[in-house]
Amino acid sequence: MQEIVIRRPDDWHLHLRDGAMLQGVLPETTRHFARAIVMPNLVPPVVTARDALAYRERILAALPEGAAFEPLMTLYLTEGTDPADVAAAAASGLVKAVKLYPAGATTNSQSGVRDLTKVMAVLERMAAIGLPLCTHGEVVDPAVDIFDREAVFIDSVLAPLRRRLPELRVVMEHITTEEGVAYAAEGGETLGATITTHHLILNRNHILAGGIRPHYYCLPVAKRERHRLALRRAATSGSPRYFLGTDSAPHVDALKEHACGCAGCFTATNTLPLLAHVFEAEGALDRLEGFASRHGPAFYRLPENAARLRLVKRAEPAVFAEKILTGAGPVTVFDPGFPVYWHVQD
């Protein structure tokens, strides 16, 4: 197959940052995606409906001329979050999910949750109104190996929470392990899982073998090859439990190439050609539309996009920008390390 047409995709996990960085990276997403679940981990975080409205207005003001893009807003769950404010934000249509960050788990997560019992009133209200909880699924206990944090989170946090609140709709964001794949597969209609572009391509050797490569460092960190293969099987399976969330996360090069480098891969620019490459390699091009364009809207109870996007395979490899130059500084675009012959047909 040399060509495939899919419904315009959505990104169900995206970092846009703010200010000059927002203005610089937003066009990379709006070029191909119709909607995106926008992460709330700004400084200070997006905690209230008022915060979310103000952030949405800044995103809309930064849209390139003529762009048709809808930011889907989220709230950052803290131990002081007001259940009534969350419910009102959801009822207004402004907020589509609430994000659980275990405190200290990833970028700008210091305001996250340390004691889940302190947010049960919020979670109970969310369960009652059907508002999804998006989870960064890692424990932060320093005694737990970083490569085991997702599996331990499932066993010690997520599974008990879902037993207590079985009606709570949960998205396991950026799953990276066989355990995550298996748990999502058995979770039923109240559970979904996003998979990133880069976790379909990277294993931990890409980060560490032959030297440290900071632009491949992300959280959750890429795992062993068997986990990457499990993610590829899940993404290309056609199961509605799995859908695309790029977790595209821009950091300026100076903070990535640093003694304590920031976590995140910036994939907004080239996700669609990379996904076509992966799905073709797995013999599953016919399932790409489900993963990128249909399963996410179904879980979030939103309509599928009417517009279409065309991907064409050509003889010459695609050439992606090496960096995006923003007012905050240069951001390196994810390099898959192999030629990609799929192009988005403009």
Catalytic residue among 155, 247, 253, 286: 247
Rounded to whole angstroms, the Cα distance separating 191 from 202 reads 25
CB contact at 8 A, 39 and 15: yes
DSSP characters over 140-157: --TTS-GGGHHHHHIIII
Give the list of residues 6+ apart from residue 92 with CB closer than 8 angstroms, or none.
49
CB contact at 8 A, 342 and 276: yes
And the tokens for 116? Answer: 């889940």
Buried b (16+ CB within 10 A) or exposed e, 123-135: bebbbeeebbbbb
CA-atom Rg of the chain in angstroms: 19
- The answer to whether 247 is a known catalytic residue is yes
Q: Comparing C-alpha atoms, which of 109, 320, 329 is closest to residue 219?
A: 109
Q: Comparing C-alpha atoms, which of 77, 256, 78, 252 is closest to residue 173?
A: 77
Rounded to whole angstroms, the Cα distance separating 208 from 331 reads 21
Q: Known catalytic residues?
A: 247
